[in-house]
Amino acid sequence: MNYNVNEKGYYGDFGGAYIPEMLYPNVEELRQNYIKVMQEPDFQKEFKELLKEYVGRPTPLYYAKRFSEKYGTKVYLKREDLCHTGAHKVNNTIGQILMAKRLGKNRIIAETGAGQHGVATATVCALMGLECIVYMGAIDIKRQAPNVARMKMLGATVVSAESGSKTLKDATNEAIRDWINNPTDTHYIIGSVVGPHPYPDMVARFQSVISEEVKKQLLEKEGRENPDYVVACVGGGSNAAGIFYHYLDKPEVGIIAVEAAGKGIHSGESAATSALGKEGIIHGSKTLLMQTDDGQITEPYSISAGLDYPGVGPMHAHLFRSGRGEFISVTDADAMQAGLDLCKLEGIIPAIESSHALAIFEDRKFRKDDVVVVNLSGRGDKDLNTYIEYFKLA
Amino acid sequence: MNRINKKLQEDKKLLSIYFTAGYPKLEDTVPVLEELVKSGVDMIEIGLPFSDPLADGPTIQESSTTALKNGMTTTKLFDQIKDIRKTVDIPLIVMGYFNPMLQYGVEKFCKACSEIGIDGLIMPDLPLAEYEEHYKATFEKYDLKMVFLITPQTSDKRIKQIDTASDGFIYMVSSASTTGKTSGFSNVQREYFERIDALNLKNPQIVGFGIKDEETFKAATKTAKGAIIGSAFIKMLTEKGIEGISSFIKSIRP
Ligand SMILES: Cc1ncc(COP(=O)(O)O)c(C=O)c1O
């Protein structure tokens, strides 16, 4: 089976470009050019240089000794938390800003939930001297004040999305509406492997640097390129796509996707899309999404704003349906505890998103000599307030 | 003959109105429809509300949110309008986003429309390629005309493809925008209207987005066959209710 995108923009049953005609010229321009542009030597050169000199890649593949001892297996952490701006999101924004420049666009828009993608976009716009407008749900603006301030310091305009439920899905709607209203000079930097084709594939390719590095690093450390498992949290699925990418066609590598169960899958407050979602259309893509029987998109919940999305990217919907991926969901409580455990065991404060991936070891048992690589997608600085409130640390 | 094709043959400029089903009150769908017909409109687009209407500006978004809160669903709409053909004989089009249709079942949806006497569908996020590959046969089986959009950015080549795929009219979006922009028409729009007119398409065009009064209606229908009013109508409905419909329609086309 093929786990990558086909020439029509589908992963199995999922993907495509279900967009209004107003977006067609922009999306089509991108579709026709993205692979060609990415393969140009000078694009590759600039992309690699920025990832090295500006983002700080390659990020370490760190053997987590005490964490491994606790769970009786060999756990490596891919340290995306050490990227400039604090998460993997910047790999994609670097790639897309270079793409936007080559397509002649001078105005950049983005959506953001927790603010990580907004900060990563504002950062690369500052770097390139381009105008930057970030849409963010009114509720998220209140929850994520430090990231709002960071975006403003970086010169971005933050626009409050006041429609619908005023969170990530609505911020995405507003960004898409902005693009409809600005059809010639604007590029939309989507923050995950979601949206109409070619976005899921383009973002996955930019994030694939993560597994490209893991292969080399693991060869040095373990004498083999392939771990037994790769594990990542899934909001839209970009950090997961990045660490799965070069292993999709390696059946000997188990793929584990971790979703946010919120207060429990059946609590009515959850973001576990594979468990609760049905096939449908969200933000221009046919995928699994949480919705009512009538096809209205419902509001997800997770303590982690980055996982608080009612869909998953079409690649992940396909990994789920085909059985290639193992999907596990983790509650707020278990994720928070796993985050705190990592602080105490390894001296690393993880983003709450990443803590979800760390939490599976309590119940999901691995063999003693299994090599398990967990994508530590981001650092926890942005989540300090949530950690403080949750554990009454202050 | 399908009512849309028949209506397009009439020797006049057509006025079509969009409204959101279940707005302002859940049970207003049929009264709004009947009042519009009484006021002399030529065609009606019944909006099936969606939680995430990407192509719509604030006015239609808010009316959709209200309609959903009121309890509007696909099943409810079909039930409300099941006897509509006893009182209404102008063309009726259902306009909505693709996901609710997909959940209802595409074939089941088409069948229900056909049993009610719906003449066509506008699904802005069901693109031409997907439609032709997967859904065209079903739409045609139930004699439902799929209406496609074009915009000032649509290439001539694609407009010709859309013209070939259409049998009815082409929905000509007046400017690069979501619904409800009310800045009026500039030379850019007038040039666009003329450019499309000069293409001599087989399907007539009906202009939508940004039509709000007599002046914009006249400007849009100088070359096009008709025009669609959505946001301006919803705004009026919010302010004046069903009683305001007939004088609103008179103000557009005295
Ligand atoms: C640290 C971190 N991890 C994961 C995610 C989830 O996004 P994705 O599933 O696209 O990796 C986010 C999103 O904000 C994030 O900030």
The pLDDT tens digits for B133-163 are: 999 999 999 999 999 999 999 999 999 999 9
Residue A111 annotated among the catalytic residues of the structure: yes
CATH number of the domain where residue A145 is located: 3.40.50.1100
- Could you read off the pLDDT of A117-136 as tens digits, one per residue? 999 999 999 999 999 999 99
Chain A: nearest CA to B39, how far in angstroms?
31
Contact B98, B122 (CB under 8 A): no
For residue A276, is it within any domain?
yes
In this structure, are A265 and A118 located in the same domain?
no
A275 plus A239 within the same structural domain:
yes
Here the tokens at position A258 are 């971790």
Query: Quick check: is A8 in a domain?
Result: no
Whether residues A384 and A268 fall in one domain: yes
Residue A352 in any domain: the answer is: yes
Q: Specify whether A222 is located in the same domain as A167.
A: no
pLDDT at B188 over 90: no
Distance CA B36, CA B229 (A): 12
Which of A203, A238, A273 represents a domain boundary (last residue)? Answer: A203
Chain A residue closest in CA terms to B177? A181
Flag whether pLDDT at A298 surpasses 90.
Answer: yes
Distances (CA, A) of A329 to A353, B76, B209: 12, 35, 44
Say if residue A79 is in the same domain as residue A134. Answer: no
- Quote the minimal CA–CA distance from B223 to chain A in Å: 21
State the residue range of the domain holding A370.
56-86+208-391
- Examine residue A318 and state whether it is found in any structural domain, yes or no: yes
Q: Are residues A118 and A266 in the same domain?
A: no
A166 and A279 assigned to the same domain? no
Q: Looking at beta carbons, which residues of chain A come within 8 Å of B151?
A: 21-22, 183
Residue A164: what pLDDT? Answer: 79
Q: Note the pLDDT tens digit of each residue in A148-178.
A: 999 999 999 999 999 878 889 999 999 999 9
B225 band by pLDDT with thresholds 50, 70 and 90: very high
Going by pLDDT thresholds of 50, 70 and 90, the confidence category of residue A273 is very high
Per-residue confidence at A5, pLDDT binned at 50, 70, 90? very high
Q: Does residue A223 lie within any of the structural domains?
A: yes
Write the single-letter amino acid at A218: L
Active site annotation includes A302: no
**B12-252 belongs to CATH 3.20.20.70:** yes
pLDDT value of residue B40? 97
Q: Please give the tally of structural domains in chain A.
A: 2
Q: Are A253 and A230 part of one and the same domain?
A: yes
Which pLDDT belongs to residue A306? 92
Q: Considering A203, A233, A252, which residue would you say is the last residue of a domain?
A: A203
pLDDT digits (tens, 9 = 90+) for A176-190: 999 999 999 999 999
Using a CB–CB cutoff of 8 Å, tell me whether A185 touches chain B. no
**Within this chain, do residues A81 and A93 fall inside the same structural domain, yes or no?**
no
Dump pLDDT digits (tens) for A194-215. Answer: 999 999 999 999 999 999 999 9
pLDDT at A163: 84
A342 within a domain of the structure (yes/no): yes
Higher pLDDT, B126 or A140: B126
Closest CA to B189 of B176, B210, B174: B174
Query: Is residue A270 in a domain?
Result: yes
**Do residues A176 and A195 share a domain?**
yes
CA of A243 to the centre of ligand 1 (A): 13
Q: In what helix (H) or strand (E) does residue B186 lie, and over which residues does it extend?
A: none
Question: B2: how many CB neighbours lie within 10 A of its CB?
Answer: 15
- Whether the pLDDT of residue A394 is over 80: the answer is no
Of A180, A203, A226, the residue at which a domain comes to its end is A203
Residue A7: inside a domain, yes or no?
Answer: no
Inter-chain CB proximity A291 and B61 less than 8 Å? no
Contact A297 B99 (CB under 8 A): yes
Half-sphere exposure of A301 (CA within 13 A, CB side): 11
pLDDT of the residue at A262: 98
